[in-house]
Each structure stands twice: as structure tokens, then as C-alpha cells.
A and B are shown apart, each in its own frame.
Chain A
């Protein structure tokens, strides 16, 4: 697995993945739907597969002396690392935003702990929709990305609407008030659990599909 991950970073990872990490700076924008800053990384992941197609990555990798499942696991590994890196890079920007400008974000959720939990859920949905669809054929990637973006948009829409329209959620989650830290931590922990569980399921489904297809 170590060698496959090395291969992913040395050959497969698209440079935009690193560039999109910098999109975390968008959390400094006073009024903005902050999910967008995290969405960019899914575009970077999409580019990994686009680059993979252009570079015949599937043949290079599957002809190496490793099980096909392991190649899927390594790809999931790099995706998870980049998604978590996106969140990690965002944390200092969130802190900076909130200390520089304590005014309320008028365009959606505050850059707080609950947001990170919701972003993890958004990534989980992306992983579940995009990756098993890609590994069904290993060459059709456009439509899976459209479906994945749609699913993420629906999730973000529902989450934002619920939080803005339900006073109890608005008060506890869309705030920088530390009194509501326990509620926000609960959302974060729930997000972590959803991310881990759903991404694991996405891996199992993807690996099984990839093993079955003819290349």
C-alpha cells in the first residue's frame, strides 16, 4: 500500500489538488457560502481521474504486481488525504476570519466547528456517488461528477435551509458563540462518523465493481 500511495502522489495526483488547498483562503471572505471553498477539492479529485485517463493510469497500475482492489484502496487513500487536508488547511483561515471579522456571515453558515462536520458529510456524499460510479467503468467520469455535484448541492441546500429556517438549529449551529460548542462538536463527530462509514462503503462498492470490469 505504501508503494501504491507513493505512486499516487508521484504520478497520479493532479497539481490542481494542491492549488485548490489554497481555496481555503475563501473563508476570509466576510459573507460567503463557505462550502464552496471545500467543493474545489472535489474538482481536484475529478482532475485526478481526468489525468488518469489521459495518462493510461489504469493500465499502468493494474499491470503492477498488486491486487486490483489495492489500486482502488490507494486511490481512496489519496482522496481521503486531500479531503482531510482541505479541512486542515481551512482551520487557520476560519480562526483568522473569525478573529478579524466577528460579524455574522450573511451568506450562510459561519466558519465554525459544525461547518467542518457538515463538510465531512458533503465529502462523504461525494465519495459515495462519484467513486463507485467511476469504478463501474473506469473510463466514464463526466456523468458521475455531474451526479456527485448535484448530490452535494442538494445536501448543502437542505442543510443550509434547515439551519436558517429552524430556530433551534440556527441558534446552536450557525454561531460563533462558544456556549454552543457541545452541539457543534456533536455535528463534527457525527460528520466524522458519516465520513468514515460512507467512504468505507464507497470503497467496498468501488473495489468490487472494479474487480469485475474488463479493461
Chain B
């Protein structure tokens, strides 16, 4: 898979509900990368992901996979991608083998050998029912299905939610292995920022239905600094640039843009991480 090739392009997606709006959502995914789609609950992550695969019909905007519009090439695109809500949560009473036997018939590129290998690698038993699998194993089963039909893009809605830290780490390691071995690119939503610290190349941050930023993770993290100091250091000038200021017992803390650091001299500035960036941005009214 050639790097830096645009394989997914979302442009100006809009969708209005009574109580929620998706506003001009745009993002692009490059081949060979992991994009973390981050935002708090209800920010519009799932609606955006569903719009990408036509489960939700956007009012305006376009979604292109491999240069093809999802509205006109849906089946062709779905042969080459995989979409999952967390882990496999369908047909819980059925054996994995039964589900796979149905699923594989739909994919031209199905690779039985690869599937068998993934079952072994993920320690999945095809005689078990889905309901007998832990949440982490369900995610792995979904990945086994997706990778066995050689999906080039995996779109996963909160695959790590509800998993224990060890299972989360396992899943994230699988993500990096998949991308590093150039099998697929991954776009996954999460509100667990440490997931992204571990494996994301790019970050897309959505708030109230609007994309705040979509860029490389490192440059995004580097564009903010945490500041803290005593209340007498909190000048009006500083107040105007500080994000999510929190005041307690004569002290303040907050976030500023790195470029504003020169306006915050004599204040303790420290590198920010994704979690603190998210918390401060969300704290801002």
C-alpha cells in the first residue's frame, strides 16, 4: 500500500436532526495510517461514521472511498472496507463458524487461509457462540472477519469502549500491527485519549457536530501547552487566551495555544497531552 495516498475523503457533511446538527464535517484518511476520531459522548462521532457508510443519509456533502462516491458505488466500496460498532454484536446465539460461513459468501476477496490464521492468532474458537465471547474477543472476531476479506479501511466505532486495560492494549497492538504490515488503514472513534496516545497517527476532533481539528497527532498535541500559576498571575491578557481555565484555592490552571506562550511569560508552561487538551477544550463553554 502506497503511503500518503488519500483513500477516504469526507467533504462538508451536514446532517440535521431536531436536537443535533452535523456541521460541515470534513476529513481525509491517508493510506497506511491510523486516525483517531475523538470527541465526548454525543459529539457526533457515530453519526459521522454512519454517514460515511450510508447508514445515515447526509443532507449535503460527499464521502469518497478510493475516489468513488459512496452513494453511487456502495457495494463496490463495501467490498474493500469494513465497518463495525465496537465488537461483533449480532447473532449472539449463533456460532462464529455459522456467521463466518454466511459472511464470507459476500466477499470476492475472502481468504480462508488468512481467516484460519487470524482465528489462531486471536485464540478464537469457531464452535463458540458470540455471546460466549468477552467484549475484547468480539472486537477481535470482527477484526478477523474484516482482515480476512482484505478490507483496506477499517472503520470502527468505539472498539475499545468497555474493555479492560489489557484487552485495550491488545486491540491497539493489533491495530498497529495491521497498519505497519500495510494490510489496512484504520479510522476509529473513541473517547479514551490514551488509546490515541498509543497508536494514532492522526487525530480528528469533533465537538458539538463540528470538526475542531483534523491533523497529525504529534503536531496537534504540540500546538497546546498547559499553564498554571497563582491567581495574581492571571492577567486579563492571559484570561483572553487561556482555554478551560480552572480556578481553585488561589491557583489557576488551563490550556493555551503554544503560539501564545510568549504572552504567558513567567507562567509555568508544560507539555499537554491529549486528555488534558480534550478536557480543557470541552470545559470551555
Interface on A for B, CB 8 Å cutoff? Answer: 3, 6-7, 10-11, 55-57, 59-60, 62-67, 212, 214-215
Flag if A11 contacts B98 (CB, 8 Å). Answer: yes
Q: Are B55 and A11 in contact (CB under 8 A)?
A: no
B105 to A: closest C-beta gap in Å: 4
Q: Which of B55, B74, B91 is the one whose CB lies under 8 Å from A214?
A: B55
Which residues 80-99 of B have a CB within 8 angstroms of A? 83-85, 89-94, 98-99
Question: Taking the nearest CB of chain A, how far is it from the CB of B79, in angstroms?
Answer: 5
- Closest CB of chain A to B104's CB: distance in Å? 10
Q: Evaluate contact between B94 and A11: CB separation under 8 angstroms.
A: yes
Nearest residue, chain B, Cβ from A213 = B57
Q: Is the CB of B102 within 8 A of A10?
A: yes
List, sorted by A's number, 20 A–B pairs whose CB atoms are closer than 8 Å.
A3-B105, A3-B106, A7-B105, A10-B98, A11-B91, A11-B98, A11-B99, A55-B90, A60-B91, A63-B83, A63-B84, A64-B78, A64-B103, A65-B74, A65-B75, A66-B75, A66-B78, A66-B106, A67-B74, A67-B75
Whether the Cβ atoms of B91 and A55 lie closer than 8 Å is yes
Q: Is the CB of A11 within 8 A of B102?
A: yes
Residue on A nearest B57 in the bound complex, by CB: A214
The residue in chain A whose Cβ has the minimal distance to the Cβ of B55 is A215
Contact indicator A6/B90 (Cβ below 8 Å): no
User: Interface of B with A (CB < 8 Å)?
Assistant: 50, 53, 55-57, 74-79, 83-85, 89-94, 98-99, 101-103, 105-107
A59 to B49, CA, bound (A): 13
Determine the distance from Cα of A60 to Cα of B88 in the docked complex, in whole angstroms.
9
- The interface residues of chain B lying within 8 Å CB-to-CB of A6 are 102, 105
Q: A56 touching B78 by the CB < 8 A rule?
A: no
User: With a CB–CB cut-off of 8 A, which chain A residues contact B106?
Assistant: 3, 64-66
Could you tell me the distance between the alpha carbons of A10 and B90 in the complex, rounded to whole angstroms?
A: 13
B74-A215 in contact (CB<8A)? no
Known: A10-B101, A11-B99, A56-B89. A63 touches B53 (CB 8 A): yes
Q: Find the A residue at minimum CB distance from B79.
A: A65
Tell me the bound Cα distance from A87 to B123 in angstroms. 47
Do A59 and B56 touch across chains, with their CB atoms under 8 A apart?
Answer: no
- Residue among A57, A65, A66, A67 having the largest count of chain B Cβ atoms under 10 Å: A65
Rounded to whole angstroms, the CA-CA distance of A67 and B106 in the bound complex is 12
What A residues does B56 contact at CB under 8 A?
Answer: 214-215
Q: Is the CB of B75 within 8 A of A60?
A: no
Shortest beta-carbon distance from A133 to chain B in Å: 20
Looking at B75, B91, B92, B101, the one whose CB has the most chain A CB atoms below 10 A away is: B91
Asked if B92 contacts A65 (CB within 8 A), the reply is no
Residues of B within 8 A of A57 (CB): 90-91
Q: Considering only CB atoms, which chain A residue lies closest to B149 in the complex?
A: A65
Residues of B within 8 A of A60 (CB): 90-91
Q: Which residues in B have their C-beta under 8 angstroms from that of A215?
A: 50, 55-56
Closest B-chain residue to A12, C-beta based?
B91
A64, closest chain B residue (CB): B106
Q: Are A65 and B78 in contact (CB under 8 A)?
A: yes
Residues of B within 8 A of A63 (CB): 53, 55, 78, 83-84
Distance of A55 Cα from B83 Cα, bound (Å): 17
B155's nearest neighbour on chain A, judged by CB, is A63
Q: Which A residue sits closest to B89, measured CB to CB?
A: A56
Taken together as a complex, chains A and B put the C-alpha atoms of A66 and B106 apart, in Å, by 8
Bound CA–CA A59/B88 (angstroms): 10
Pick the 3 closest A-B CB pairs, nearest first. Answer: A65-B78, A60-B90, A56-B90
Q: Nearest-CB distance from B12 to chain A (Å)?
A: 18
B83 contacts across to A, CB distance below 8 A: 63
Kindly list chain B residues whose C-beta atoms are within 8 Å of the C-beta of A62: 55
Residues of A within 8 A of B99 (CB): 11
Complex Cα spacing A6 to B98, Å: 11
B90 CB contacts on chain A under 8 angstroms: 55-57, 59-60
Residue of B84, B92, B93, B106 most packed against chain A (CB within 10 A): B106
Q: Shortest distance in angstroms between A48's beta carbon and chain B's nearest beta carbon?
A: 13
Q: What would 8 more interface pairs be, CB under 8 Å, given A63-B83, A67-B74, A215-B55?
A: A3-B102, A3-B106, A11-B91, A56-B89, A64-B78, A64-B106, A65-B78, A215-B56
A209 to B172, CA, bound (A): 39
In the bound assembly, the distance between CA atoms of A64 and B102 in angstroms comes to: 11
Rounded to whole angstroms, the CA-CA distance of A56 and B279 in the bound complex is 34
Give the docked Cα–Cα distance between A182 and B83 (Å): 56
